[in-house]
Amino acid sequence: MKTNRLSKSIEAALNAQMTKEAYASQIYLAQAAWATAEGYGGVGNFLFRHAHEERNHMMKFLEYILNRGGKVTVMAIPAPDKNPSNLQDCFNKVFEQEVDNTASIYKIVKMSLEQEDWATWNFMQWFVKEQVEEETLSLNLLDKIKIAGGEKATDEALQELNKELKNMADEAPEAREATTENP
């Protein structure tokens, strides 16, 4: 009896998405390191936490593939792009990367619908909801930097923003929601 409940194409798409989540984690990690080195430890802390969250997303895909009897293929993760040129650029990149990820999630939802793979369709709904939260979170970051003055923001305004993000760590339920212990 065939025990793999995933079609070849869905298995491949889920594996690719697993790698994409790992890539997202590397991007956040690189940006967090950059922000911290630039003196924005609060922003760095926020981004480090998000890097961890993306690793948890990666694990959710890995666990799902295994649970469905599929084959997990761990692939190389591309290196992140070059460092941002300033905080606004950093937050822009965060937003772009989340939008790109949403498009990729939607493709798998569409595939599962077309193939009537309702288990995968149902599994993917968690990510559809998560992407709404993540896009909102990154849009809020863009609003904050705009209010601080955008590219013309003073050092004082940026340090205020830095402090705000440092304190936000305990106020961001969406960043805590996904863990491997509490998926």
Residues engaged in binding ligand FEO (CB under 6 A): 21, 24, 54, 57, 98, 101, 134
Q: How far is the CB of 103 from ligand FEO (least distance, A)?
A: 11
CA distance 132 to 152: 29
If we measure between CA atoms, which residue out of 14, 1, 2 comes closest to residue 115?
Answer: 14
CB of 101 to ligand FEO, least distance (A): 5
Query: Which is nearer to ligand FEO, 10 or 94 (by Cβ)?
Result: 94
DSSP letter, residue 3: -
The residue (of 88 and 131) whose beta carbon lies closer to ligand FEO is 131
- Cβ proximity to ligand FEO: between 24 and 47 the closer is 24
Tell me how far apart the alpha carbons of residues 129 and 3 are, in angstroms, rounded to a whole number.
29
CA-based nearest residue to 93, from 151, 141, 42, 163: 141
Q: What is the rounded CA–CA span in Å between residue 57 and residue 28? A: 13
**The pair of three-digit structure tokens given for residue 55, joined into one six-digit string:** 């690793």
To the nearest whole angstrom, how small is the minimum distance from the Cβ of residue 151 to ligand FEO?
Answer: 25
Query: Min. distance of Cβ 137 from ligand FEO in angstroms?
Result: 9
CB 102, min distance to ligand FEO, A: 8
Say how many residues make up the chain. 183
Q: Can you tell me the distance from the alpha carbon of 161 to that of 1, in angstroms, rounded to the nearest whole number?
A: 58
Smaller CB separation from ligand FEO, 98 or 117 = 98
Q: Minimum CB separation from ligand FEO for residue 90, in Å?
A: 15
Q: Name the residue number minimizing CB distance to ligand FEO.
A: 57
Helices (H), 68-183: 87-114, 118-148, 155-168, 173-177
**DSSP annotation of 103:** H
Taking the least distance from each CB to ligand FEO, the nearer of 11 and 98 is 98
Q: Could you give the 3-state DSSP secondary structure of residue 94?
A: helix
Nearer to ligand FEO, 20 or 68 (CB): 20
